[in-house]
Structure 1
Amino acid sequence: MVWYSIYREDSFYFPVQENNKTMCPLGEVEKKAAQLIGNYTRDHPLFLQLKDYFWVKTPSLYELPYGTKGSEDILLRLLSITHYSLPESIQSLKCRRCAVVGNGHRLRNSSMGDTINTYDVVIRLNNAPVHGYEQDVGSKTTMRLFYPESAHFDPRTENNPDTLLVLVPFKPMDFQWMETILNDKKRVRKGFWKQPPLIWDANPEQVRVLNPYYMEVTAAKLLNLPMKQPRKVKQKPTTGLLAITLALHFCDLVHIAGFGYPDSANKKQTIHYYEQITLKSMAASEHNVSHEAVAIKRMLELGLVRNLTYF
């Protein structure tokens, strides 16, 4: 049973009782997701597979980040040293209960750590730390979505040994960065908005490349963004909204925590639980956070996802 209460005006808060572990609403996510996402399907693989790039029968319609058009050669090399499968421990679950953990300030002093650790699958974002914050954010990480500029310089310190490190490719240089790192070739230093790690000690067997299909769904179906945008007006989904979209395509229960930004009038409130960065830092980004907030609120209204913190 889940309680619903209004934390504040326009907020959605669903504290989850312990006995939710015994309940599995099989089919509910698919049914509700179809109301929000046109042509919703679970037929697309989560991660890119090598076999699909030896002979591409259906070339991708879009370039990155919404497709792989023009990046097939580098993908052949990268996918030959990474993997694509889900761990058997997840694949065999009769019910996949997932928590998508955002990086929001509202996780600070939330004491949500133990609750987050009870989920079968815990998805985290970018370089958000775990050590030192376990009481609020938990210690379990099943998947971590990231791109080169947001990669933690030492992925072994903030993840479990079996954590899947999922590359979210925004541009061809992201593939090149990963390939040079894993093959210990001469590092790529140009083509990034911020210098990514030059040393990134990760086990290639734990690395996956996210299928750009999910970025396309997030942009086109949830944010109504055109797939081809003028260079000066480009907008892209955040990794957080992308992670929720991914969860909606392979989980039977999706709960979120740490999502939402401070009110725009609150200039001094930090946006992350682990660093002193304010909303001002988002001004130059290619993300429309208010647009994304509307999409998440719609999911909450439909009961498609539930919130462990307020939004």
Structure 2
Amino acid sequence: MLRVVLGWHGLRLLSRMCFAVCPRPPSCSASITGRRCSRLVRLRRATDRCRTGTSEPLGRGREDGLADPAELLPALPGPRGQTEQEVLEEEKSRPVFPAGICVTSGSRDESSGPRLMPLLLIKMLNKSRGKILGVLALFLVMVWYSIYREDRYTQLFYFPVQENKTTCPLGEVEKKASQLIGNYTRDHPLFLQLKDYFWVKTPSLYELPYGTKGSEDVLLRLLSITHYSLPESIQSLKCRRCAVVGNGHRLRNSSMGETINTYDVVIRLNNAPVHGYEQDVGSKTTMRLFYPESAHFNPKTENNPDTLLVLVPFKPMDFQWMEAILNDKKRVRKGFWKQPPLIWDANPEQVRILNPYYMEVTAAKLLNLPMKQPRKVKQKPTTGLLAITLALHFCDLVHIAGFGYPDSANKKQTIHYYEQITLKSMAASEHNVSHEAVAIKRMLELGLVKNLTYF
């Protein structure tokens, strides 16, 4: 708008300068006589007055603001028998000029046309000024609306706007989770502890991974060397803003690292690396959920010094492997679908055992799986969906990133951001990824979780 205003005044100034420096008409020669000579003399005098600024502009002006052509004519009658009245009639048919403008040459002067162009342009713009401003305002509104729609689309489907850290939606997750999870409660502890399972003699209804039935002895020895509490820095938070970071290919080249690091609690999965991928996945890790076959990572390199290493037990052999690692006993080699690491440099004070209750909730309430399944057709939740369920029972705000698998027809697309394996590798697993995708989309529709990368 400023450019339009400056351009308007600049055009008017240019027009005035053009008429101020107009050339002086030539004197009448012997060949120019009568009316024409008188007109040139009169115009020359007007030009002199225009140059010096010592007189009023030509013409008293008519009611419409234009100079009367009769005032530009000499009082003498023209040659060849023309009377003064005839001269006036002839001159009245000539173009008129706006009042207040110094005229420097006759209508037959070849330079008069170009000199009038700025004046006519100014007059035209002056009459259409309202329309021009209206069109300009409409254009600006259209541009703003287009940008607003694009930003809104991005917020809803790709990178939602982050909530202000000073405001916390306390109670919102609990309220919405109760609509999706039957008998939702936050009374169950996150991690197993001795007093809840042995001193009080609380029996478990299910075997692993949904309970501890039949694994009490080895679990007792394992819990005696591990801990169950949360760090005070997390426990004392009035609002727990959590980010559950999946291992999906969508994190590659996402530049989400800085955003992920801003959350109070960052939950990672299995052997997903951090070192070398900080720009896309961040560097902060509050909890890392894993099981023995996925423990092929350096606990000190890929985690922070205070990261909680949360064991997700799927079978009794998982307890035995963890006990052997922490007590430096003879390693267990059988009973795994993939050989777990035999050397694992972890601090026992950082190790936690996840409460199987959350595996039960994930399977029964979100995936509608039976707790007792035939051995040949067993289905289990993935660690990723389990981590989201855990966050729903612990956090006041839950955002996810790096979730989702490629379309089943796309067999060449990698599924992880850090390794070149495809969806074909999931065929022999006990996970139903399409079923889990439906569960996560239901959470998104309810506003229970929000997505940082498109799902």
Please classify the TM superposition score into its range, dividing by the shorter chain length: over 0.9
Residues 2-37 of structure 1: per-residue CA shift (max 9 Å, x gap): 999999999x4342347x222210000000000000
State the SS of the aligned residue for 1:3.
helix
Give the distance between the partners of 1:83 and 1:160, measured in 2 at CA: 18
Contact 1:3-1:15 within 8 A present in 2 as well? no
Contact 2:197-2:203 within 8 A present in 1 as well? no
Report the CA distance between 1:50 and its aligned residue. Answer: 1.5
State the SS of the aligned residue for 2:148.
coil
Contact 1:48-1:210 within 8 A present in 2 as well? yes
Q: In the comparison of the two structures, how many residue pairs are matched?
A: 309
Contact 1:167-1:208 within 8 A present in 2 as well? yes
**Structure number, greater radius of gyration:** 2
Q: Which deviates more, 44-53 or 85-94? A: 44-53
Give the distance between the partners of 2:208 and 2:149, measured in 1 at CA: 39
Extract structure 1 runs of 4+ deviating beyond 4 A. 1-10
1:81 aligned onto 2:222: no
Residues 117-147 of structure 1: per-residue CA shift (max 9 Å, x gap): 0000000000000000000000000000000
Structure 1 residues 112 and 231: CA distance shift in structure 2, 3 A: same
Structure 1 residues 116 and 177: CA distance shift in structure 2, 3 A: same
Structure 1 residues 73 and 260: CA distance shift in structure 2, 3 A: same
TM-score in terms of structure 1 length: 0.95
Structure 1 residues 186 and 292: CA distance shift in structure 2, 3 A: same
What do you get for the CA RMSD once the two structures are aligned? 3.2
Q: Which residue of 2 aligns with 1:27?
A: 171
Give the distance between the partners of 1:5 and 1:307, measured in 2 at CA: 23
Report the CA distance between 1:300 and its aligned residue. Answer: 0.1
Contact 2:247-2:402 within 8 A present in 1 as well? yes
Give the distance between the partners of 1:55 and 1:215, measured in 2 at CA: 23
Report the CA distance between 1:154 and its aligned residue. Answer: 1.9
State the SS of the aligned residue for 1:30.
helix
Residues 191-222 of structure 1: per-residue CA shift (max 9 Å, x gap): 00000000000000000000000000000000
Contact 2:408-2:423 within 8 A present in 1 as well? yes
Structure 1 residues 3 and 308: CA distance shift in structure 2, 3 A: farther
Report the CA distance between 1:261 and its aligned residue. Answer: 0.2
Contact 2:196-2:202 within 8 A present in 1 as well? no
Give the distance between the partners of 1:7 and 1:49, measured in 2 at CA: 51
Report the CA distance between 1:52 and its aligned residue. Answer: 2.4
Structure 1 residues 5 and 94: CA distance shift in structure 2, 3 A: farther
* Partner of residue 327 from structure 2, selected from 183, 186, 197: 183
Give the distance between the partners of 2:428 and 2:212, measured in 1 at CA: 26
Structure 1 residues 7 and 151: CA distance shift in structure 2, 3 A: farther
State the SS of the aligned residue for 2:195.
helix
Report the CA distance between 1:155 and its aligned residue. Answer: 1.1
Give the distance between the partners of 2:379 and 2:148, measured in 1 at CA: 31
Contact 2:325-2:344 within 8 A present in 1 as well? yes
Give the distance between the partners of 2:204 and 2:246, measured in 1 at CA: 30
Give the distance between the partners of 2:267 and 2:162, measured in 1 at CA: 20
State the SS of the aligned residue for 1:34.
helix
Contact 1:5-1:13 within 8 A present in 2 as well? no
Contact 1:100-1:256 within 8 A present in 2 as well? yes
Structure 1 residues 54 and 13: CA distance shift in structure 2, 3 A: same
Q: Which residue of 2 aligns with 1:154?
A: 298
Give the distance between the partners of 1:66 and 1:172, measured in 2 at CA: 12
Structure 1 residues 52 and 274: CA distance shift in structure 2, 3 A: same
State the SS of the aligned residue for 2:404.
coil
Contact 1:7-1:310 within 8 A present in 2 as well? no
Give the distance between the partners of 2:301 and 2:388, measured in 1 at CA: 24
Structure 1 residues 260 and 3: CA distance shift in structure 2, 3 A: farther
Q: Which residue of 1 aligns with 2:143?
A: 2
Structure 1 residues 119 and 175: CA distance shift in structure 2, 3 A: same
Contact 1:98-1:122 within 8 A present in 2 as well? yes
Contact 2:273-2:297 within 8 A present in 1 as well? no
State the SS of the aligned residue for 2:150.
coil
Report the CA distance between 1:231 and its aligned residue. Answer: 0.5
Structure 1 residues 244 and 4: CA distance shift in structure 2, 3 A: farther
Unaligned ranges ≥5, structure 2: 1-141, 152-156
TM-score in terms of structure 2 length: 0.65
Structure 1 residues 264 and 214: CA distance shift in structure 2, 3 A: same
Residues 161-205 of structure 1: per-residue CA shift (max 9 Å, x gap): 000000000000000000000000000000000000000000000
Residues 60-97 of structure 1: per-residue CA shift (max 9 Å, x gap): 00000000001111111000000000000000000000
State the SS of the aligned residue for 2:191.
coil
Give the distance between the partners of 1:176 and 1:284, measured in 2 at CA: 25
Contact 1:2-1:16 within 8 A present in 2 as well? no
State the SS of the aligned residue for 1:76.
helix
Contact 1:53-1:75 within 8 A present in 2 as well? no
Unaligned ranges ≥5, structure 1: none
Contact 1:4-1:13 within 8 A present in 2 as well? no
Structure 1 residues 156 and 5: CA distance shift in structure 2, 3 A: farther
Contact 2:209-2:359 within 8 A present in 1 as well? yes
Report the CA distance between 1:54 and its aligned residue. Answer: 2.9
Q: Which residue of 1 aligns with 2:389?
A: 245
Report the CA distance between 1:152 and its aligned residue. Answer: 2.7
Give the distance between the partners of 1:76 and 1:135, measured in 2 at CA: 41
